[in-house]
Amino acid sequence: MLFSEATTTSFFSLAPWLVFAPVIGLLINIIIGGRFSEKLIGAVASVASGATFIVSLLLAYSVWVGHGQGESIFLAEWIHVGSLSLDWTFRVDSLSTTMMLVVSGVGTLIHIYAIGYMHEDVRFKNDPSRFRRFFVFLNLFIAAMMILVSGDSYLMLFVGWEGVGLCSFLLIGFWFEMDTLARPSWANSNAAKKAFIVNRIGDLGFLIAGFLMFWYLGSLQFDEVFAAAPELADTQPGIIIAITLFLLVGVAGKSAQIPLFVWLPDAMAGPTPVSALIHAATMVTAGVYLIARSAPLYNLVEGAQSVVVIVGAATALFAATIAVGQYDIKKVLAYSTISQLGFMVAAVGMGAYVAGIFHLVTHAFFKALLFLSAGSVILGLERGHHLLAHAHNGGAADHDDEEEVRRTEPAEVFDPGDMRNMGGIRKTMPVTFWLYMIGSLALVGIIPFAGFWSKDEILLDASLKYPAVYWLLSTAAFFTAFYMGRQIWMVFFGTARHEAAANAQESPKIMTVPLMVLAGLSILGGLLNLPFKGFHNLGHWLEFTLGEVELLGLDPTVAGLSTLLALAAIFISWLLYGRVTLKQADRDPLKKPLGFVFTGMENKWFVDEAYKAMIVDRYTDVCRFLADVIDSRFWHDWFHEKLIVGTYNWFSNTGLNYYADQKIIDAFANGLGRTTKYLSASVRRIQNGFVRSYALSVFLGVVLILGYLILK
């Protein structure tokens, strides 16, 4: 006992290393990484991330040994102004350690994968010097994310929140001056800006929530806020509702919920490890974490909870339908992510925090797996494509000559992410195929894969509390199974619809091995929280932080129905995409039966267009109005030219200029000019290099001083 107590305390004090480790890693890479080989750069970054994982493990162990007793680790004073007093304090409890483990664990695997992925990516994109930059950003992300999940106050959380937003921006725009076709284009930088700006809207919500908290609750520190909240809820429940809803705006921004989800699909412009790490597994789940962390606030106001549930469920279904109509392998996954985030948000909105966090964890496993496998597919196609381009030019002998490959870039537009170019990859990339299958089954929710258990828990909670939401989510689950089936058939089965797909090559071990780990987690992740008595591990674990939680068993009806729906959806997708062999030019088989509905799905229900028409264009109109009418016509033409200049001219034309200007000012200015000229001339006369004049200057100084003393 004594021993365990001693170790516990010493481990808690490691908390700051969550942030220090990745920061040290990125500093090493920034400062001396220029001389490192790519392997070493990747190793430094991965070790830094791995160290974070180890610290997370030790912290989690400490919490476990201490029977869930968390601790706040003070690092430094921060803001002490008036009644506001905040410090850099790390909060280590079962909820935050869960997040730490997911972020650093999945993060480390993705770091390792990225060593292989970026090695090829920077070469296809023709700029190997960016390899180091990528890993610096990745480490920075881990650091920011750790601040986010370990902060002990809303403000520290917000610092991490903004930090990950910045990293997201930097990494989406990683190839800011070119698109995936290695041609100049601003698409990627536009995607980065879009993500950043949309997130600003969400962050404004977060900020307002923070201001309200400070104003009405007097603090931003979690425990103080939660302690003060019930009293306020009694007297002014509207304020709590406002706080929680403004927080929801922030959540909608970061976790891509309706109406702010539009940035996430575009964010797929970033390199695939980024899509997996930031835009699937970790950063976008920050919103879910925020709601879970703010559970004591949400529990006070049921109305706000309902709004959260509705937003989450609507997003889940809406995004799932869009995913059905996408052709880009990563876009499908992106909308799938939005949809799954909807599941999580709905869950935490219902108060089913354990289910939400559980799904967050399993989703991190299988969605990271899916994205990284998709990246493997894309690179496989690129390899095939480059091989072909090379072979066409008859330069097979100097295969390693990358210059050659670059120069012989074909003019033909080839998109390695377009599923219409794929088909039959099962045979060329078998390892990737099996990994992808595991990820898909987990996502679709086939027993016993991880996704089944977590999704089922959400559905069960919904069926008990919000029946309507249950049906919405079940429909979304149906669509999930359908679009994943569609994707699998299109990508891996049938025959290759493009030469590149036929020549696709399997990825190296450094990429596939981390995927195998993730696949293992996707299979076994359900063990975290099986719905049987005695197996609610995660539930009991989070109870330490969230208080009493409802632990549900397995409902055969709900589980059976969802499995049935999933199998049905897969079957339908087989009928449409698997049974017949598709050709490259074929229209999507769904187009005919669904007609304009499918057009809507294909075009993302025209949300971007609607936003453009409703908001962006209106905003431009306002800007134009301000520029043309207010600034140009009113301010410049009327106020400036007419009023000021006119008045001035009027004054000057009434003879004022003669008296004021010529007689007084000119005379003064001329006098000043003359004096300056005279002075500089005399200075130059003295500073002439002759010792005698220098001595004279000293002497004059003496005379002046003595004169002053005597005559004073």
Partner 1 sequence: MPPINFNDIEVLLPLIILVIWACLLLLVDLFIPKKHKWLTALLAAFGLALTLGFTLSQLGSESNGFCATGKPSICMVVLDGFSVLVNALLLLTGLLGVALAYGYLKRMGIERGEYYTLMLFSISGMMLMAQASDLIIVFLALELLSLPLYVLSAFARSNSDSQEAGLKYFLLGAFSSGFILYGIALVYGATGSTSLSQIFEIASVGTSSLLLTIGAALILVGLGFKVAAVPFHMWTPDVYQGAPTPVTAFMTAGAKIAGFAALLRVFGSAFPNLSEDITPILWALSAATMIVGNLLAIAQTNIKRMLAYSSIAHTGYILMAFVPYGNPEVAPVSIAAGLFYLFAYTITNFGAWGVVIALEQKESKGLQISDYAGLRRKYPVLAGAMTVFMFSLIGFPPTLGMVGKFYLFRAVLSGGYTGLAIIGVVTSLVSAFYYLRVVVNMYMFAGEPKTDNEFWLRFTIAGAALVTVVFSLVPQGLFAWASRAVLKLF
Least gap, CB of 668 to partner 1 (angstroms)? 20
> Cβ distance 447 to 352 under 8 Å?
no
Among 32, 627, 630, 702, binds partner 1 (CB under 8 A): 702
Could you say whether residue 697 binds partner 1 (CB under 8 A)?
A: yes
Tokens describing residue 272: 């695939």
Least gap, CB of 88 to partner 1 (angstroms)? 18
Give the nearer residue to partner 1 in terms of CB position, either 88 or 470: 88
Could you say whether residue 700 binds partner 1 (CB under 8 A)?
A: yes
Give the nearer residue to partner 1 in terms of CB position, either 650 or 699: 699
Among 595, 671, 673, 701, binds partner 1 (CB under 8 A): 701
CA-to-CA distance for 136 and 159, rounded, in angstroms? Answer: 19
Among 184, 394, 593, 689, binds partner 1 (CB under 8 A): 689
Give the nearer residue to partner 1 in terms of CB position, either 669 or 695: 695
The phi, psi pair for 77, rounded to 5°, reads: -70, 150
Tokens describing residue 238: 């509207």
Binding mask 85-124 for partner 1 (x = CB under 8 A): ----------------------------------------
Give 153's strand partners. Answer: 221
Binding mask 647-686 for partner 1 (x = CB under 8 A): ------------------------------------x--x
The phi, psi pair for 328, rounded to 5°, reads: -85, 130
Contact window for partner 1 (CB under 8 A) among 1-9, 377-385, 627-635, 694-702: 694-702
By CB under 8 A, the residues from 212 to 251 that bind partner 1 are none
Least gap, CB of 701 to partner 1 (angstroms)? 4
> Cβ distance 137 to 172 under 8 Å?
no
460-465: long-range contacts at Cβ-Cβ below 8 A with a sequence spacing of 24 or more?
A: 460/355, 460/531, 460/552, 460/554, 460/555, 460/558, 460/559, 461/347, 461/350, 461/352, 461/355, 461/550, 461/552, 462/313, 462/346, 462/347, 462/350, 463/555, 463/558, 464/552, 465/350, 465/351, 465/352
Give 151's strand partners. Answer: 90
Contact window for partner 1 (CB under 8 A) among 105-113, 341-349, 593-601, 691-699: 691-699
Give the nearer residue to partner 1 in terms of CB position, either 575 or 679: 679
Contact window for partner 1 (CB under 8 A) among 166-174, 257-265, 619-627, 687-695: 687-695
By CB under 8 A, the residues from 176 to 215 that bind partner 1 are none
CA-to-CA distance for 273 and 111, rounded, in angstroms? Answer: 8
Give the nearer residue to partner 1 in terms of CB position, either 9 or 693: 693
Among 2, 31, 76, 710, binds partner 1 (CB under 8 A): 710
Tokens describing residue 633: 């016509």
Among 31, 585, 691, 711, binds partner 1 (CB under 8 A): 691
CA-to-CA distance for 364 and 107, rounded, in angstroms? Answer: 10
Establish how many alpha carbons lie within 13 A of residue 272's alpha carbon, considering only the half-sphere containing its beta carbon: 33
Give the nearer residue to partner 1 in terms of CB position, either 67 or 712: 712
> Cβ distance 341 to 260 under 8 Å?
no
Give the nearer residue to partner 1 in terms of CB position, either 67 or 685: 685
Least gap, CB of 711 to partner 1 (angstroms)? 11
Neighbours of 221 (CB within 10 A): 24
> Cβ distance 280 to 371 under 8 Å?
yes
* Count of residues in contact with partner 1, rule CB under 8 A: 20
Give the nearer residue to partner 1 in terms of CB position, either 647 or 680: 680
DSSP 33: G
Give the nearer residue to partner 1 in terms of CB position, either 652 or 687: 687
Could you say whether residue 711 binds partner 1 (CB under 8 A)?
A: no
How far, CA to CA in Å, does 528 sit from each of 50, 453, 689? 22, 9, 88
CA-to-CA distance for 417 and 35, rounded, in angstroms? Answer: 34
Q: Among all chains, which residue has been given the structure tokens 């499908």?
A: 332
Give the nearer residue to partner 1 in terms of CB position, either 592 or 712: 712
Least gap, CB of 684 to partner 1 (angstroms)? 10
Give the nearer residue to partner 1 in terms of CB position, either 35 or 712: 712
Give the nearer residue to partner 1 in terms of CB position, either 37 or 693: 693
Max distance between CA atoms of the chain, in angstroms, equals: 114
Contact window for partner 1 (CB under 8 A) among 242-250, 348-356, 426-434, 692-700: 692-700
> Cβ distance 150 to 94 under 8 Å?
no
Give the nearer residue to partner 1 in terms of CB position, either 592 or 685: 685
Least gap, CB of 34 to partner 1 (angstroms)? 12
Least gap, CB of 134 to partner 1 (angstroms)? 23
Among 79, 568, 627, 695, binds partner 1 (CB under 8 A): 695
Contact window for partner 1 (CB under 8 A) among 120-128, 404-412, 519-527, 698-706: 698-706
Contact window for partner 1 (CB under 8 A) among 28-36, 75-83, 505-513, 699-707: 699-707
CA-to-CA distance for 315 and 251, rounded, in angstroms? Answer: 13
Q: Among all chains, which residue has been given the structure tokens 């195998």?
A: 516
CA-to-CA distance for 444 and 446, rounded, in angstroms? Answer: 6
How far, CA to CA in Å, does 160 sit from each of 110, 152, 253? 20, 11, 15
Give the nearer residue to partner 1 in terms of CB position, either 397 or 698: 698
Could you say whether residue 709 binds partner 1 (CB under 8 A)?
A: yes
Give the nearer residue to partner 1 in terms of CB position, either 651 or 694: 694
Could you say whether residue 76 binds partner 1 (CB under 8 A)?
A: no
Give the nearer residue to partner 1 in terms of CB position, either 495 or 676: 676
Q: Among all chains, which residue has been given the structure tokens 């359900």?
A: 526
Among 397, 585, 698, 711, binds partner 1 (CB under 8 A): 698
Q: Per residue in 540-564, is it b (16+ CB within 10 Å) or e — as a string?
A: bbbbbbbeebebbeebeebbebbbe
Neighbours of 590 (CB within 10 A): 20
CA-to-CA distance for 283 and 253, rounded, in angstroms? Answer: 11
Our CA dihedral for 60, 62, 68, 69, rounded to 10 degrees, sits at -130
CA-to-CA distance for 568 and 346, rounded, in angstroms? Answer: 24
Among 184, 397, 708, 711, binds partner 1 (CB under 8 A): 708
Residues that bind partner 1 (CB under 8 A): 683, 686-687, 689, 691, 693-695, 697-698, 700-702, 704-706, 708-710, 712
